Protein backbone atom coordinates (compact mmCIF):
# COMPACT_ATOMS: atom_id res chain seq x y z
CA UNK A 1 0.00 0.00 0.00
CA UNK A 2 1.39 3.42 -0.93
CA UNK A 3 2.21 6.00 1.73
CA UNK A 4 -0.32 8.84 2.18
CA UNK A 5 0.69 12.01 0.35
CA UNK A 6 1.33 14.86 2.79
CA UNK A 7 1.59 18.57 2.00
CA UNK A 8 4.09 20.64 4.00
CA UNK A 9 4.26 24.41 4.25
CA UNK A 10 5.09 27.34 6.48
CA UNK A 11 2.47 29.73 7.80
CA UNK A 12 2.46 33.01 9.66
CA UNK A 13 -0.30 34.46 11.78
CA UNK A 14 -1.05 37.46 13.95
CA UNK A 15 -1.16 37.04 17.73
CA UNK A 16 -3.34 39.23 19.96
CA UNK A 17 -0.35 40.97 21.59
CA UNK A 18 0.67 42.42 18.22
CA UNK A 19 3.40 39.89 17.47
CA UNK A 20 3.52 37.61 14.45
CA UNK A 21 4.10 33.90 14.82
CA UNK A 22 5.56 31.50 12.28
CA UNK A 23 4.41 27.89 12.21
CA UNK A 24 5.01 24.63 10.38
CA UNK A 25 1.96 23.02 8.78
CA UNK A 26 1.53 19.46 7.55
CA UNK A 27 -1.71 18.12 6.10
CA UNK A 28 -3.17 15.47 3.85
CA UNK A 29 -3.11 16.46 0.21
CA UNK A 30 -6.74 15.50 -0.35
CA UNK A 31 -9.25 18.21 0.52
CA UNK A 32 -10.97 16.67 3.56
CA UNK A 33 -12.20 18.15 5.86
CA UNK A 34 -10.07 16.60 8.60
CA UNK A 35 -9.59 17.01 12.35
CA UNK A 36 -7.13 19.70 13.37
CA UNK A 37 -4.17 19.23 15.68
CA UNK A 38 -2.06 21.78 17.53
CA UNK A 39 1.47 20.40 17.97
CA UNK A 40 3.57 22.11 20.62
CA UNK A 41 7.35 21.99 20.40
CA UNK A 42 10.04 20.83 22.77
CA UNK A 43 12.43 23.40 24.22
CA UNK A 44 14.65 23.10 21.12
CA UNK A 45 12.35 24.72 18.58
CA UNK A 46 10.15 23.51 15.76
CA UNK A 47 13.01 21.32 14.62
CA UNK A 48 13.37 18.27 12.38
CA UNK A 49 11.83 15.98 14.99
CA UNK A 50 8.75 18.16 15.55
CA UNK A 51 8.27 18.59 11.82
CA UNK A 52 8.52 14.82 11.43
CA UNK A 53 5.86 14.30 14.12
CA UNK A 54 3.64 16.79 12.28
CA UNK A 55 4.06 14.82 9.07
CA UNK A 56 3.31 11.52 10.83
CA UNK A 57 0.03 12.94 12.11
CA UNK A 58 -0.78 14.38 8.69
CA UNK A 59 -0.33 10.87 7.29
CA UNK A 60 -2.97 9.82 9.84
CA UNK A 61 -5.33 12.41 8.30
CA UNK A 62 -4.90 15.40 10.61
CA UNK A 63 -4.23 18.98 9.61
CA UNK A 64 -1.35 19.84 11.93
CA UNK A 65 0.07 23.21 12.92
CA UNK A 66 3.25 23.51 15.00
CA UNK A 67 3.55 27.16 16.16
CA UNK A 68 6.95 28.62 16.99
CA UNK A 69 6.54 29.43 20.68
CA UNK A 70 9.83 31.36 20.78
CA UNK A 71 8.72 33.90 18.18
CA UNK A 72 8.98 36.84 20.58
CA UNK A 73 12.65 36.27 21.37
CA UNK A 74 14.10 34.18 18.52
CA UNK A 75 14.16 34.57 14.74
CA UNK A 76 11.75 32.49 12.63
CA UNK A 77 12.98 28.93 12.18
CA UNK A 78 15.03 28.92 15.40
CA UNK A 79 16.43 25.51 16.36
CA UNK A 80 19.01 24.44 18.92
CA UNK A 81 20.87 21.18 19.34
CA UNK A 82 19.69 18.82 22.03
CA UNK A 83 22.74 19.50 24.19
CA UNK A 84 22.84 23.27 23.64
CA UNK A 85 20.86 24.34 26.69
CA UNK A 86 22.50 27.81 26.93
CA UNK A 87 21.05 28.69 23.51
CA UNK A 88 17.59 27.58 24.61
CA UNK A 89 17.25 29.03 28.10
CA UNK A 90 16.47 32.70 27.36
CA UNK A 91 13.72 31.69 24.94
CA UNK A 92 12.36 28.98 27.22
CA UNK A 93 12.16 31.38 30.16
CA UNK A 94 10.23 33.88 28.03
CA UNK A 95 7.38 31.41 27.44
CA UNK A 96 4.83 32.15 30.16
CA UNK A 97 1.32 30.84 30.71
CA UNK A 98 0.06 34.13 29.33
CA UNK A 99 2.10 34.00 26.11
CA UNK A 100 1.22 30.32 25.69
CA UNK A 101 -2.47 31.23 25.89
CA UNK A 102 -2.04 33.92 23.23
CA UNK A 103 -0.12 31.60 20.92
CA UNK A 104 -2.65 28.82 21.44
CA UNK A 105 -5.50 31.12 20.46
CA UNK A 106 -3.65 32.31 17.37
CA UNK A 107 -2.88 28.80 16.12
CA UNK A 108 -6.35 27.52 17.10
CA UNK A 109 -8.07 30.26 15.10
CA UNK A 110 -5.80 29.54 12.14
CA UNK A 111 -7.03 25.94 12.18
CA UNK A 112 -10.67 26.96 12.64
CA UNK A 113 -10.48 29.31 9.65
CA UNK A 114 -8.95 26.65 7.40
CA UNK A 115 -11.54 25.07 5.10
CA UNK A 116 -9.69 21.75 5.26
CA UNK A 117 -10.34 21.52 9.04
CA UNK A 118 -13.50 20.48 10.87
CA UNK A 119 -13.92 23.55 13.06
CA UNK A 120 -15.25 21.75 16.13
CA UNK A 121 -12.80 18.86 15.92
CA UNK A 122 -9.46 20.24 17.11
CA UNK A 123 -7.10 18.60 19.62
CA UNK A 124 -3.52 19.18 20.74
CA UNK A 125 -0.33 17.34 21.63
CA UNK A 126 2.94 18.60 23.06
CA UNK A 127 6.34 17.37 24.18
CA UNK A 128 8.48 18.61 27.08
CA UNK A 129 7.83 22.39 27.08
CA UNK A 130 5.01 21.58 24.70
CA UNK A 131 3.58 19.07 27.17
CA UNK A 132 3.08 21.94 29.60
CA UNK A 133 1.66 24.15 26.86
CA UNK A 134 -0.73 21.35 25.90
CA UNK A 135 -2.19 21.52 29.42
CA UNK A 136 -2.49 25.32 29.16
CA UNK A 137 -4.09 25.04 25.72
CA UNK A 138 -6.72 22.60 26.98
CA UNK A 139 -7.70 25.14 29.63
CA UNK A 140 -7.79 27.97 27.08
CA UNK A 141 -9.74 26.82 24.02
CA UNK A 142 -12.46 24.14 23.54
CA UNK A 143 -10.34 21.20 22.44
CA UNK A 144 -11.67 17.70 21.83
CA UNK A 145 -8.67 16.13 23.58
CA UNK A 146 -5.12 16.94 24.66
CA UNK A 147 -1.93 14.90 25.02
CA UNK A 148 1.00 15.88 27.20
CA UNK A 149 4.32 14.03 26.82
CA UNK A 150 6.53 14.59 29.88
CA UNK A 151 5.22 18.09 30.50
CA UNK A 152 7.29 19.57 33.30
CA UNK A 153 6.06 22.48 35.40
CA UNK A 154 2.36 21.59 35.37
CA UNK A 155 2.55 20.92 39.11
CA UNK A 156 2.28 22.95 41.16
CA UNK A 157 2.18 26.14 39.10
CA UNK A 158 -0.68 25.30 36.73
CA UNK A 159 -2.92 23.05 38.81
CA UNK A 160 -5.48 25.81 39.26
CA UNK A 161 -6.24 25.33 35.56
CA UNK A 162 -7.45 21.75 36.08
CA UNK A 163 -11.01 22.94 36.65
CA UNK A 164 -11.00 24.70 33.27
CA UNK A 165 -9.92 21.76 31.10
CA UNK A 166 -12.18 21.22 28.10
CA UNK A 167 -11.18 17.87 26.59
CA UNK A 168 -9.92 14.66 28.13
CA UNK A 169 -6.17 14.50 28.71
CA UNK A 170 -3.58 11.82 28.13
CA UNK A 171 -0.45 12.21 30.24
CA UNK A 172 2.66 10.30 29.10
CA UNK A 173 5.57 10.13 31.52
CA UNK A 174 8.94 8.40 31.61
CA UNK A 175 9.37 6.36 34.78
CA UNK A 176 13.09 7.22 34.85
CA UNK A 177 12.50 10.96 34.38
CA UNK A 178 14.27 12.84 37.20
CA UNK A 179 13.05 16.20 35.84
CA UNK A 180 9.45 15.42 36.81
CA UNK A 181 9.43 13.48 40.10
CA UNK A 182 6.62 11.06 40.98
CA UNK A 183 5.04 13.44 43.48
CA UNK A 184 4.56 16.06 40.74
CA UNK A 185 2.96 13.50 38.42
CA UNK A 186 0.60 12.43 41.21
CA UNK A 187 -0.28 16.04 41.95
CA UNK A 188 -1.39 16.50 38.33
CA UNK A 189 -3.68 13.49 38.28
CA UNK A 190 -4.97 14.22 41.80
CA UNK A 191 -6.03 17.69 40.62
CA UNK A 192 -7.91 16.27 37.64
CA UNK A 193 -9.55 13.64 39.83
CA UNK A 194 -10.65 16.31 42.29
CA UNK A 195 -12.36 18.23 39.48
CA UNK A 196 -13.87 15.07 37.94
CA UNK A 197 -11.99 15.54 34.67
CA UNK A 198 -11.42 12.70 32.23
CA UNK A 199 -7.82 11.61 31.82
CA UNK A 200 -5.51 8.70 31.06
CA UNK A 201 -2.21 8.48 32.91
CA UNK A 202 0.56 6.38 31.30
CA UNK A 203 4.01 5.85 32.78
CA UNK A 204 6.64 3.95 30.77
CA UNK A 205 8.92 2.43 33.38
CA UNK A 206 12.04 2.01 31.21
CA UNK A 207 11.80 5.47 29.64
CA UNK A 208 13.49 8.75 30.55
CA UNK A 209 12.63 12.35 29.72
CA UNK A 210 12.50 12.87 25.97
CA UNK A 211 12.15 9.15 25.23
CA UNK A 212 9.82 9.65 22.25
CA UNK A 213 12.38 11.55 20.18
CA UNK A 214 14.60 9.33 18.03
CA UNK A 215 17.13 12.17 17.72
CA UNK A 216 17.86 12.33 21.45
CA UNK A 217 20.12 10.09 23.50
CA UNK A 218 17.13 9.28 25.72
CA UNK A 219 15.22 7.65 22.84
CA UNK A 220 13.62 4.39 23.96
CA UNK A 221 12.14 2.71 20.87
CA UNK A 222 9.83 0.20 22.57
CA UNK A 223 8.20 2.84 24.76
CA UNK A 224 8.08 5.29 21.84
CA UNK A 225 6.17 2.85 19.64
CA UNK A 226 3.71 2.05 22.38
CA UNK A 227 3.21 5.71 23.28
CA UNK A 228 2.58 6.62 19.62
CA UNK A 229 -0.08 3.91 19.33
CA UNK A 230 -1.65 5.05 22.59
CA UNK A 231 -1.73 8.70 21.54
CA UNK A 232 -3.34 7.87 18.18
CA UNK A 233 -6.02 5.70 19.79
CA UNK A 234 -6.69 8.22 22.56
CA UNK A 235 -7.23 11.03 20.07
CA UNK A 236 -9.36 8.82 17.81
CA UNK A 237 -11.57 7.49 20.58
CA UNK A 238 -12.08 10.90 22.22
CA UNK A 239 -13.04 12.40 18.88
CA UNK A 240 -15.47 9.55 18.27
CA UNK A 241 -16.99 9.89 21.75
CA UNK A 242 -17.68 13.58 21.21
CA UNK A 243 -18.60 13.54 17.54
CA UNK A 244 -21.23 16.05 16.53
Active site residues: 128, 177, 209
Is residue 222 within 8 A of residue 18, CB to CB? The reply is: no
- Whether the bond between 215 and the residue before it is cis, its omega within 30 degrees of 0, is no
Instruction: Tell me phi and psi for residue 104, to 5 degrees.
Output: -60, -50
Beta-bridge partners for 123:
37
Helix or strand run (H / E) with residue 134: helix 129-138
Count helices and strands in the chain by DSSP H and E runs: 6, 8
Q: d(Cα 68, Cα 170) in Å, to the nearest integer?
A: 23
Is residue 198 within 8 A of residue 227, CB to CB? The reply is: no
> What order do you get walking across the sheet with 6-14 strand by strand?
6-14, 20-28, 63-67, 34-40, 117-127, 145-149, 168-174, 199-204
Collapsing DSSP to helix, strand or coil, 166 comes out as: coil
Q: d(Cα 189, Cα 236) in Å, to the nearest integer?
A: 22
Amino acid sequence: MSEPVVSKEHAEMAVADGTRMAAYVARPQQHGPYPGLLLFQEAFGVNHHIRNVAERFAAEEYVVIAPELFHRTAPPGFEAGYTDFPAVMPHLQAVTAETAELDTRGAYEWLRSNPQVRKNDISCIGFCLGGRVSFIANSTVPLRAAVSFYGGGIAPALLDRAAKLHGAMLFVWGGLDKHIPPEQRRAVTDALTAHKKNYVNAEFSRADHGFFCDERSAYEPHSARQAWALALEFLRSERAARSD
